[in-house]
Amino acid sequence: MMIYNRRKDFRGIGVAASILVLWGLLLVYLLTSYSVRFTSPLTYVFLLLQTHLYTGLFITAHDAMHGVAAPGRPKLNKAIGTVTALLFAYNWYPRLLPRHHQHHRHVATSQDPDYHHGSFWPWYFSFLKQYITWWQLLLMAITFNVLKLYFPVENVVLFWMLPAVLATFQLFYFGTYRPHRGEHPEDNPHKSGTQPKNHLWAFISCYFFGYHYEHHDKPFLPWWQLYKTK
């Protein structure tokens, strides 16, 4: 058992490090070496890829909230969560942690910070108000003004700022709105839906979090093992 646990620990750290490194390397390349051409499909491919990696940063921070980014190593696990949350638009991990566990304890109720009884757009703006603070916006504004001194402004907007916005939308739509909207039967203890089995789409859309009932049922599984429960 100890060997198995250590192996899981190593793999979790490796997955987290891979997302972090890929996000950083691609961002550096796109800011320093890529010439934006709005007529080129490659520009939009890079935009979507960077958005996906931004989403991966937050999913990694989410895994840390469940103690599975580096299981058995609480200090490293917290460090991974703190760094990846900060890189995703200056989110503060100690603020996110209790809110996320409150979501799991009181899912789809008035005590759930992720839930809003209403249509899509009011729910989305309610979600943003729960997780975006004035100091995040201030830090983003300062960072943007610093970055544009050194890199082309269109690169900063397309590959640093816009992917964070799109990733927020991606996380909300696939990880909150679709799974928790509507009424759920009484025999659904997690008040969560799930998408049909399609591992490729589940990964591309939101790192398997379309399998959302499965996540609430087994929150101890990291994202990269979640598909096994489907």
Cα–Cα nearest to 113, from 69, 64, 172, 169: 172
Provide mean pLDDT across the span 50-59.
Answer: 98
Digit-coded pLDDT (tens) for 61-119: 999 999 999 998 999 999 999 999 999 999 999 999 999 999 999 998 889 999 998 88
The total of other beta-carbon atoms located within 10 Å of residue 203's CB is 17
Question: For the segment 114-151, what is each residue's pLDDT rounded down to a tens digit?
Answer: 999 888 999 999 988 888 899 999 999 999 999 999 99
Question: Tens of pLDDT along 7-35?
Answer: 456 899 999 999 999 999 999 999 999 99
| Helical ranges in the chain per DSSP H | 2-32, 41-65, 74-87, 93-105, 120-131, 134-150, 153-156, 162-172, 178-180, 199-206, 212-217
- CA–CA distance, 96 with 65 (Å, rounded to integer): 8
pLDDT digit string, tens, across residues 168-191: 999 999 999 999 998 888 889 899
How many domains does the chain contain in total? Answer: 1
pTM reported for the whole predicted model: 0.91
Query: Is the pLDDT at 5 greater than 80, yes or no?
Result: no
Helix axes 41-65, 93-105, angle to 10 degrees: 70
In the chain, the percentage of residues whose pLDDT exceeds 90 is: 86
User: What pLDDT band is residue 230 in, cutting at 50, 70 and 90?
Assistant: confident
Structural domain harbouring 189: 2-229
Residues 6+ apart with CB under 8 A from 144: 156, 160, 161
Whether residue 1 is predicted with pLDDT greater than 50 in this model: the reply is no
